[in-house]
Amino acid sequence: MSKKVVVIGGGPGGYEAAIELAKLGAEVSLIEKAHLGGTCLNCGCIPTKTLLSGAETYATLKNADRFGIAVSDCKVDYARLYSRKEDVVKRLRNGVQFLMRKHGIQVVEGNASFSDKSHIAVDSGNKRSIIAFDAAIIATGSMPSMPPIPGIDGRNVMNSTDALELKELPERMAVIGGGVIGLELSAFFSKIGTKVTILEACPQILPEMDEDIVQEYLKLSGMSNSVKTSCKVQAIEDSATGKVVRYTDTTGMALSVECDKVLVATGRRAYTQGLNLEGIGVLTDRGRIQTNENYQTSVENVFAIGDVNGKAQLAHAATSQGRYAAQVIMGNKPTVKTSVVPWCVFTEPEMAGVGLSEKQAKKAGVAYEIAQFSFAASGKAMSMGKAEGFIKILYGPEYHEILGAKIVGPHATDLIGEMVLALSLETTLEELADTMHPHPTLCEALADAARQ
């Protein structure tokens, strides 16, 4: 008899886990209370990148003169940008639905809650059904976390989901939080005409990232003047012209920024509401579900993957963890690698990284050397009019094994893929340098960096 596995949550972690389980012969039910695709597809990765593509197209057209192309009367039609985003989301959602059907996965709409260690109750409207399981995967994701700032519940204060649903373009926006989500949404809105001010509590936006990467980004993006660091937001209030965000700097000086909308992008917290975890003995730590290296919780047949376990709040991490857990559940030796986790920031210029950063290497006392290459010397980057930014590869001084890579520049988010493979395969700098790369491409700059 096939194993009965229930997956709670239809985000990139949940639906990919369900597909892997089905491929390995499990009888799979996937429970989703909102939309298939989860945060990623409906209010995360996909809508932001779709909007950013629109904003980038606008920026390219405005700069078309540099390429000898005359463009006149180039305007943003925000309503159409918005509806294109809706269309992309809808098409991809249908795609996930198709995949569920194709793999014979039973999709159950409703809110899931554990009845005991082998049954889940699903509530939909006033109907309740009970599903029995041999194993369950919790993939319920995360939700925006709102810090206790006075006035945060007020009018015109938004989280990232609200910002992606804005029907009209605000003239001025204050963004609290200079992490990835805050920066990407700031990049979008500022590119299409909103005056954005980013307020970050740490001395640097993207606090975990190497300073030289962040400095290069600020220089090239022209966002330096829009970013205020080391500021502590004290209150959000209504003002005569809209909203005012009050904050103090490191000296305690009281400052403020006037705006029409406030976007709060201060991180996300694990979403476990209503699951009845305590009832079955699943342990959490600061809200995140605790798991071992197999993504198994304190209850043997219950697994937790993706944002809800707080290991890495990234869609590709959720997907890999989901597939890994599925292989464990089905008694297979897991082949999926979950330890090499790339990250990307889809701003202009883009930033991406994988493995050790210089900051982390210094902190951990890991010996390293750096190979660096500037896109200013890349023929492809120059032909694109984007000969800016650089690649930085950290490697071990003795064996030259690649420890990490950081990229700021054109298509950094695509280029990092090669470095993910290099790290996964424990490649050395020489192996990267001696691998033939196509010409003229941006990826040959990776080999050029290694040859330095």
The answer to the question of residue 347 lying near ligand FAD (CB under 6 A) is no
**Min. distance of Cβ 145 from ligand FAD in angstroms?**
11
Cα dihedral sign, 322-328-331-333:
positive
Which DSSP string corresponds to 52-74? HHHHHHHHHHHTGGGGT----S-
Residue 190 burial (CB count, 10 A): 20
d(CA 14, CA 6): 10
Q: How many residues bind ligand FAD (CB under 6 A)?
A: 37
d(CA 84, CA 96): 19
**Min. distance of Cβ 35 from ligand FAD in angstroms?**
6
The answer to the question of residue 160 lying near ligand FAD (CB under 6 A) is yes
Instruction: Locate 357 and state its tokens.
Output: 């950063």
Check if 439 is active-site: yes
- Candidates 5, 13, 393, 411: give the one binding ligand FAD (CB under 6 A): 13
- Candidates 81, 100, 137, 139: give the one binding ligand FAD (CB under 6 A): 139
**Min. distance of Cβ 398 from ligand FAD in angstroms?**
34
Instruction: Locate 158 and state its tokens.
Output: 């938004």
d(CA 166, CA 335): 42
Amino acid at residue number 437:
H
**Min. distance of Cβ 396 from ligand FAD in angstroms?**
28
The answer to the question of residue 318 lying near ligand FAD (CB under 6 A) is yes
- Candidates 5, 6, 9, 213: give the one binding ligand FAD (CB under 6 A): 9
Query: Angle CA(340)–CA(345)–CA(351) in degrees, nearest 5?
Result: 80
Q: Is 339 exposed, middle or buried (0-12, 13-18, 19+ CB in 10 A)?
A: exposed
- Candidates 28, 31, 100, 352: give the one binding ligand FAD (CB under 6 A): 31
- x/- contact string, 366-395, with ligand FAD (CB under 6 A)? ------------------------------
Query: Angle CA(316)–CA(446)–CA(353) in degrees, nearest 5?
Result: 35
Per CB under 6 A, which region of 62-70, 83-91, 214-222, 312-320 contacts ligand FAD?
312-320
Question: Who's near 320: CB < 8 A, 6+ residues apart?
Answer: 336, 337, 338
In the bound state with ligand FAD, the residue whose beta carbon lies nearer, of 307 and 388, is: 307
Is the link from the previous residue into 349 a cis peptide, with omega within 30 of 0?
A: yes
d(CA 272, CA 347): 31
Instruction: Locate 223 and state its tokens.
Output: 């966002």
In the bound state with ligand FAD, the residue whose beta carbon lies nearer, of 124 and 215, is: 124
In the bound state with ligand FAD, the residue whose beta carbon lies nearer, of 315 and 356, is: 315
The answer to the question of residue 275 lying near ligand FAD (CB under 6 A) is yes
Bridge partners (DSSP) of residue 197 are: 174
- Candidates 307, 348, 444, 448: give the one binding ligand FAD (CB under 6 A): 307
In the bound state with ligand FAD, the residue whose beta carbon lies nearer, of 100 and 429, is: 100
Instruction: Locate 414 and state its tokens.
Output: 């695509």
- Candidates 20, 21, 38, 264: give the one binding ligand FAD (CB under 6 A): 38
Instruction: Locate 373 and state its tokens.
Output: 């290459």
The answer to the question of residue 11 lying near ligand FAD (CB under 6 A) is yes
Per CB under 6 A, which region of 20-28, 66-74, 199-207, 307-315 contacts ligand FAD?
307-315
Run of H or E including 380: helix 379-383
The answer to the question of residue 78 lying near ligand FAD (CB under 6 A) is no
Run of H or E including 51: helix 45-62
Residues 45-64 that bind ligand FAD (CB under 6 A): 45, 48
- Candidates 186, 194, 297, 313: give the one binding ligand FAD (CB under 6 A): 313
Query: Which segments of 24-44 does DSSP mark as H helices, in order?
Result: 38-43
In the bound state with ligand FAD, the residue whose beta carbon lies nearer, of 110 and 396, is: 110
Query: Which segments of 242-365 does DSSP mark as H helices, in order?
Result: 277-280, 315-329, 358-364
Per CB under 6 A, which region of 31-39, 98-106, 146-154, 391-399 contacts ligand FAD?
31-39
The answer to the question of residue 18 lying near ligand FAD (CB under 6 A) is no
Question: Who's near 333: CB < 8 A, 6+ residues apart?
Answer: 327
Question: Who's near 385: CB < 8 A, 6+ residues apart?
Answer: 63, 66, 67
The answer to the question of residue 269 lying near ligand FAD (CB under 6 A) is no
- x/- contact string, 221-240, with ligand FAD (CB under 6 A)? --------------------
Q: Active-site positions?
A: 439
Interaction site with ligand FAD (CB under 6 A): 8-14, 31-34, 38-40, 44-45, 48, 111-112, 139-142, 160, 181, 271, 274-275, 306-308, 313-316, 318, 346
